[in-house]
Structure 1
Amino acid sequence: MKDTAKHQGLRNLLAKQLEEKGIKDKNVLEAIKKIPRHLFLNSSFEDFAYQDKAFPIGAGQTISQPYTVAFQSQLLQVKKDDKILEIGTGSGYQTAVLVAMGAKVFSVERQKELFKTTSLLLPKMGIKPKHLSFGDGYKGLPQYAPFDSVIVTAGAPVIPQALMAQLKIGGRLVIPVGEQEQIMTMLIRKNETQFEKHEFGEFKFVPLLENKN
């Protein structure tokens, strides 16, 4: 598990590129500089790890492109010790970025193969989410709710009610919504029953799967 000066240089360039694309949150950019994305990929992709592209990670899933990770992370407006629910642990890269930003991350993965790999990888890298679990992301983790934010890293046809219910008042839910193409959507919880909705254009995600367990 090597992380060299060359890798660090590539990360600095990637952060600069993301800033040019509109990522302004310094906390996000510092996390991108810090997290060795190449360690989350199959070694055959190592040379491409710091390009702003998505790559396959097995089980029909992908690691999101860095811009998407940075964009979603920026929308969350993460503060130190924020309790964040992540739906779709995947490779663990987004998890690691949020942990590097100072968040307490509770993450759910529905693919057993990815869950096992990531559960071993993150501790090896010294990255400590609060809780990783294997389960149905549509249900969230009600036993740990409420959360300061919820981030969904797969495309959902609709916004799951269970995830809305697990959000603190004032909290943010960031989720790509749609079947083929997704619209990046943010809900801010105003009170028990009301949510303010914002949309941020099209993104492409793998689908959020359910009822596997």
Structure 2
Amino acid sequence: MSGWARHEGLAVALDRENVDTDQLIPARFMSTPRAEGYGRFLLHDLRFDAGGAPVPSFVLNRAPGASVLVTRRNFGSGSSREAAVYALVDYGIRAVLAPSFGDIFASNAVNNGLLPARIEADAADALIAALGQGTAPATIDLAAGTATVGDTTLPFALDPVWREKLINGWDDIDLTRHHAAAIAAYRARLAADRAWAIPRGEHAR
């Protein structure tokens, strides 16, 4: 996965609370191989009508090139399906700005290069009102911890470890490998200090 520190794109508003993972990608699409891409399934039952035709008024149909989503609280709640993040990433969404996120969704997002940026509820209200049915240029600066949407620049909350993972393009395994030297030193110190506690044969590893 490629890391990133700065993103410039178009922001749109999804004026909904509690957008759960089943809305992000309905379960019936999850048997599709990931290699075929999940972007076409993103928010499928909101983007398309019962006959499969695009709903003209839906935000992503009005702005198909958007890469920054501004929405309301509890985004990504519900089941732990990582496919919800795949759908956003494969569609081209790089950052979601919201007052709160489902915990597992947020962790999955970071591991797949998607920024779950927590902003104040009042800030979300203001951005959603300013965007209305349209779009605005957006810039996300991970190092500074700021998002600029139109003429508004605001801070967002992000765990420092998650920031490091996004900038470097790391998942949890990569993050652990980054500390390989410290882990090896701790293991050697433990073997020296508590030789009696190490099973036979472990010293050689």
Give the TM-score taking structure 1 as reference length: 0.27
- The higher radius of gyration belongs to 2
- Which one has more relative contact order, counting CA pairs under 8 Å at least 6 apart? 2
- Structure having the higher strand fraction is 1
Give the TM-score taking structure 2 as reference length: 0.28
